[in-house]
Amino acid sequence: MKKTPNHSCFIRFAIPLLFAALVLFAAWQNRRLGEERRAGLPEAPAYATQTPPFLNFITVGLGGFRGIAAEVLWARAEHLQEEGRYFELVQLYEWITDLDPHATETWTYSAMTMAYDISVMMHRPEDRLRWVWNGIRLLRDRGLPANPNSAKLHRMLAWLYQEKIGGSSDSANVAYKLSLAATMAPFVNPDGTVSNTPSNRETLQTEQRLDIDHMQQLERQFGPLDWRIAASHAVYWASLGLEHARGPERLACRRAIYLPLIQCVQAGRFDGELARGVYHTASNPTIVQPALRFLEETFRETPTRGVRIATAFFLLQAIHQADARGDNEQAEALLRELNRVGAGEFRRMTLDAVRHGETPELRR
């Protein structure tokens, strides 16, 4: 059948109109889905002056194609890592985070590369220190503002404080600890608790992203935390992560709190001399009971054997400390708590057994 002129004209105009309608619908749908995905997250910067022009073109002009560019850069990053070209990796990670600032794995991987892989390539402690702080600042000052509801990023920042600064595996660890203690010294009272003055409040928020209200809330919850100690900062950041944690991440964040709390009990007070570069710590027994309460809360929320074992060995260490101080009353009270916690799981302990270095063996 021969088409009439009117019919041909209708098809000629209908197809472009339909195509335009589909494009507009796709654009609206993409925008709606993007808004849902980014709910509660700040927008990525529209234009970055420090990035190459081609990245700004991708970021601003290509929209959804940014993910493809990020994947290409990730592939390049894997090759650089295999070749040990860490300095180039840092620049590459910065570009990747510019392209996809909500990819938490990128922030974590880049920070760990700086704090661990690159820092140990440096020979001087001050050079290592700079890279450790670079990794911390990357998460704290850029990653978290872009992902304020990420429990994992908070937890990984807590880990950097607890293990990299607070640990002893790095030969330059004393330099890290002294740097943190010196940084926090102007803002604390003689016992290490935070000094709440208008000047301190503003400076800590601006330079360290520490909120004095939250610091004081933690002091009320756990006792007099000494903010010159890395473990206190680990508790701070992990506790913020716990506010956003869901599912298995909750236990991970709670573990990132109780492990540094245990460290605070063992060596939670700065007792050195900054002027002479002497780092020394003392125990903080006032944190024992709050830490124990937190461990018990964790067990009630997630009754795993691992939490029970951590609680038992924490109590064992606390008993040793109390006995060494000659505080027999507290040692006996903690021993009763140890046997209560370990009932049905460990053999019953006596104070003499603890003194002889015995440990609560698991029942078969």
| pLDDT tens, position by position, 256-313 | 999 999 999 999 999 999 999 999 999 999 999 999 999 999 999 999 989 999 999 8
Element (H, E) at 281: strand 281-282
d(CA 339, CA 335): 6
Residue 155's nearest CA partner among 224, 90, 93, 243 is 243
For residues 312 and 341, is the Cβ–Cβ distance under 8 A? yes
| pLDDT tens, position by position, 51-73 | 455 444 444 444 455 556 666 66
| pLDDT tens, position by position, 120-150 | 988 899 999 999 999 999 999 999 999 999 9
Residue 115's nearest CA partner among 72, 86, 88, 92 is 86
Tokens of 190: 């003689």
d(CA 290, CA 98): 41
